[in-house]
Amino acid sequence: MRLYAVKTRIVKTGDNLSEVILESLKKQNLQLKNNDVLAVTSKIVSQAEGRTAKLKDIKPSKQARKLAERFSLQAEFAELVLREADKIYGGADKAVLTLKNGILAPNAGLDNKNAPAGFAILWPSSPERSAESIREEIRSKTRKQIAVLIVDSGLAPLRRGTAGFALAVAGFKPIEDRRGDNDLYGKRIAITTHAVADDLASAAHLLIGEAAERTPVVLVRDAPVEFDEGVYGPANMMMPFKECIFMNAFTNP
């Protein structure tokens, strides 16, 4: 498998993301081939779709002010977290642990890093629809059978630092079920499923970076995935609470 970091100009609200991607690939002399995967950060998707909020236009509630004081957040930012989160569990300095679209995420996916000054960026309202739209536009323009992976960064319990995860996928199966297969010693595998999309997102995230790299797209070639015509969002990659070792431990200590 080969990965190519793709530099782009700064994406603004209203930009056609497929055109930005194709223009950037052309500048780097990269040509799409069938079964390529384009990993795209959720931030540029949100920026293009206008999923941003001007903090000075947000009026914090009493609850937001309490949340802000508890976790050292700007009150306006805390208000957005309350609006976006499906559930709030607690948190640490500068970060609130939330449930958003079936994903345990800091601050309900909100971020003001790599956002214009005074703004926060939200997750795309429908990441799977965004992935499908980008894929269809690029396939129409290039006549290449490609897949799109929308990437964000998140945290794992007790692990320092961020890693990439898949917010949405269009064009390949995000989960590989290994239950029933045999291991190295012929034993039947009982519970293992392989988060293929998350693995690929994390590989891309290594090239995307977390600061001013300006490489929000990664071209992945010869990825070991099962291509299809499916479109998959957070609900397709979510594990039920009762089957999740972390959530089950939280709710049934």
Which tens digits make up the pLDDT trace of 29-87? 999 999 999 999 999 999 999 999 999 999 999 999 999 999 999 999 999 999 999 99
* pTM, to two decimals: 0.94
CA distance 73 to 69: 7
Q: What is the mean pLDDT of residues 121-125?
A: 97
CA dist., res. 219 & res. 215, Å (int)? 11
Domain boundaries, the chain: 2-50+124-251, 52-122
User: What is the fold, at CATH topology level, of the domain defined by 2-50+124-251?
Assistant: 60s Ribosomal Protein L30; Chain: A; (3.30.1330)
Higher pLDDT, 154 or 253: 154
- pLDDT at position 252, please? 77
Let me know if domain 52-122 sits in CATH 3.90.1660.10: yes
Percent of the chain with pLDDT over 70: 100
Q: Look at residue 50 in the predicted model and tell me its pLDDT.
A: 96
pLDDT digits (tens, 9 = 90+) for 92-115: 999 999 999 999 999 999 999 999
Exposed e or buried b per residue across 100-110, where buried means at least 16 C-beta atoms within 10 angstroms of its C-beta: bbbbbbbbbbb
* Per-residue CA distances from 198 to 77, 132, 153 (Å): 28, 18, 10
CA 91 to chain centre: 20
pLDDT in tens, 160-213: 999 999 999 999 999 999 999 999 999 999 999 999 999 999 999 999 998 889
Beta strands per DSSP E along the chain: 2-6, 37-41, 52-54, 87-92, 95-100, 103-106, 119-121, 147-154, 163-172, 176-177, 193-194, 217-221, 227-232
The dihedrals phi and psi of 100, each to the nearest 5 degrees, come to: -140, 115
